[in-house]
Amino acid sequence: MPHIDRADIQGNVVRGYRFPVARHFFIRMGDATSGRRWLRDTVDFVTNAELWDEKPGWALNIAFTHAGLRAVGVQPQSLDSFPAEFQQGMRARAQMLGDTGGSSPAHWESHFRDGDIHVMATLNASAPDRLAERCDWFERILAGTETLQIVGRQDAARLAESREHFGYVDGLSQPLVAGDGMPTRRGQGVKEGSGWRALRAGEFLLGHHDETGQMPLAPQPTALAQNGTYLVYRKLHQDVALFRRFLADRARAYAGAEEKLAAALMGRWRDGTPIERSPDAADPSLGFDLQRNNDFTYGEDLDGFRCPVGAHIRRANPRDAIGFRHKMVHRHRLIRRGMPYGNPLSPGSDDDGVDRGLIFVCLGASIQRQFEFVQTQWMNDGNIFALGADKDVLAGDNDGTGKMTVQGRPPWFVAAVPRLVTTKGGDYFFLPGIRALRRISGELQPP
């Protein structure tokens, strides 16, 4: 298996940084000349995917919207060669994504709503003071350009024990990328016989073979696409007080009570134990064991009696439960790099009005086949799973009228699922390889 060219891939794509804090800057470029000059000055500081002897204090990465590529002077024939969904951007896809009602673009934060964003620059850091220091440096450089304007900022930070705001440990399951050189962990790639193999790099990186054995469709020229990927950014507000009330209320008549119902919604106990492996109780020795906490499939549980068919992780990655022989599931995997934002709601508190949630970030070679498919077919609909109109309780576009089915004899229905997660904004970005960044900046022959 050829190794991937780490020096040419931006960091945090094939392997996660796992820094505790981050800030996203959303930037608008006044003109192409100063945009390219800024990029030339900045590209040497962009973090690539090379392995670290010692973890650095911070990392910087840069991604463009389609409007951003145009603003920085990428040629029209090249701009036209990008896939339609990227050209249109997330706002134009809102209806299809289920971003309606309170999640519709009319309610998004202004920089997402008004389509002002050209660039997203993300600084990750090892501690809040390191982040503050680097952000000052970054803002000083931008201020020096006069024509590049910061139109939005977003902080994100890990919570204790890597939990997200509803209280579950997050960041446990990621696809393993071929050529990364990481030892295969059971459950993190594609099951083959009794073992597991990594997914082909082309599922996540342009210019590499994907699971069909083909090169993914990529924009032209090849030099612009090589080692690039698409990044989906969504600011997802979580209504934690409503989630707690909902859980307590629906669990009242549920055999096994609140924590068991919480586990059924997710497919994992809150500590990360997969219920497919441990359906009756959390098992801390399993939850935190990286070799075992993903080592499961659903093929022996097609009825969903151990893990409900509509549980969040089973919908998001049905493993061998649907289309396995046709590799259907492998074509819809996502690398997730999100982080929570906002302070946690203390236990027992009622709604405090604070904005909190998940900065959902995912990466893949096709926004349409990966993120949009998972959101629309697996989160917002139950048809593929023979669940009718059931939606994912956490990430589906619920409106208070739908249900979740917990299979069993008899089955249990979680009624009137409210919208627990609201979209506050987001966009589609192209995260170029390092050489492509230099080309865009004009330092190498431009695209």
CB of 19 within 8 A of CB of 125?
yes
Smallest distance from ligand HEM to CB 103, Å: 12
- Note whether 313 binds ligand HEM by CB under 6 A: yes
CB of 67 within 8 A of CB of 61?
no
Question: Binding mask 379-398 vs ligand HEM (x if CB under 6 A, - otherwise)?
Answer: x--------------xx---
Smallest distance from ligand HEM to CB 300, Å: 16
- Note whether 316 binds ligand HEM by CB under 6 A: yes
Smallest distance from ligand HEM to CB 332, Å: 9
Options 27-35, 321-329, 372-380, 437-445: segment touching ligand HEM (CB under 6 A)? 372-380
Q: 102 is written with which tokens?
A: 């309170």
Smallest distance from ligand HEM to CB 191, Å: 12
Cβ proximity to ligand HEM: between 298 and 430 the closer is: 298
- Note whether 407 binds ligand HEM by CB under 6 A: no
Cα 390 → chain centroid: 22
Subset of residues 318 to 357 that bind ligand HEM, contact rule: CB under 6 A: 334, 336, 357
From residue 420, how far is each of 102, 137, 172, 306, 342 by CA, in Å?
Answer: 11, 37, 22, 25, 16
* Residues 30, 41: Cα–Cα separation, whole Å: 17
Cβ proximity to ligand HEM: between 214 and 291 the closer is: 291
Question: Binding mask 262-301 vs ligand HEM (x if CB under 6 A, - otherwise)?
Answer: ----x-x---------------------------------
Which of 82, 138, 166, 246 is close enough to bind ligand HEM by CB under 6 A? 166
Subset of residues 169 to 228 that bind ligand HEM, contact rule: CB under 6 A: 170-173
* Residues 363, 104: Cα–Cα separation, whole Å: 23
Which of 358, 361, 387, 436 is close enough to bind ligand HEM by CB under 6 A? 358
Q: 110 is written with which tokens?
A: 């202004």
Phi, psi of 273 (to 5 degrees): -60, 125
Q: What is the dihedral sign for C-alpha 63, 66, 67, 72?
A: positive
Smallest distance from ligand HEM to CB 385, Å: 14
Q: 32 is written with which tokens?
A: 């192409």
Smallest distance from ligand HEM to CB 438, Å: 32
The residue among 152, 91, 175, 172 whose CA lies nearest residue 341 is 152
Which of 124, 317, 380, 422 is close enough to bind ligand HEM by CB under 6 A? 317
* Residues 187, 290: Cα–Cα separation, whole Å: 10
Subset of residues 416 to 435 that bind ligand HEM, contact rule: CB under 6 A: 421
Q: What is the dihedral of CA 335, 339, 344, 345, to 10 degrees?
A: -50
Q: Please report how the helices 240-251 and 257-266 are oriented relative to each other, as an axis angle in degrees rounded to 10.
A: 120
Smallest distance from ligand HEM to CB 368, Å: 13
Cβ proximity to ligand HEM: between 39 and 262 the closer is: 262
Cβ proximity to ligand HEM: between 268 and 438 the closer is: 268
Cα 102 → chain centroid: 21
The residue among 6, 151, 135 whose CA lies nearest residue 65 is 151
Cβ proximity to ligand HEM: between 60 and 321 the closer is: 321
Query: DSSP string spanning 245-285?
Result: HHHHHHHTTSTTHHHHHHHHHHSB-TTS-BTTT-SSS--HH
Cβ proximity to ligand HEM: between 236 and 436 the closer is: 236
* Residues 223, 177: Cα–Cα separation, whole Å: 21
Which of 71, 178, 236, 361 is close enough to bind ligand HEM by CB under 6 A? 236
Cβ proximity to ligand HEM: between 83 and 272 the closer is: 272
* Residues 21, 101: Cα–Cα separation, whole Å: 31
- Note whether 103 binds ligand HEM by CB under 6 A: no
Cβ proximity to ligand HEM: between 71 and 313 the closer is: 313
Contacts with ligand HEM by CB under 6 A: the residue count is: 27
Cα 169 → chain centroid: 15
Options 69-77, 141-149, 221-229, 369-377: segment touching ligand HEM (CB under 6 A)? 369-377
Residue ranges binding ligand HEM (CB under 6 A): 164, 166, 168, 170-173, 236, 238, 266, 268, 312-313, 316-317, 334, 336, 357-358, 360, 371, 374-375, 379, 394-395, 421
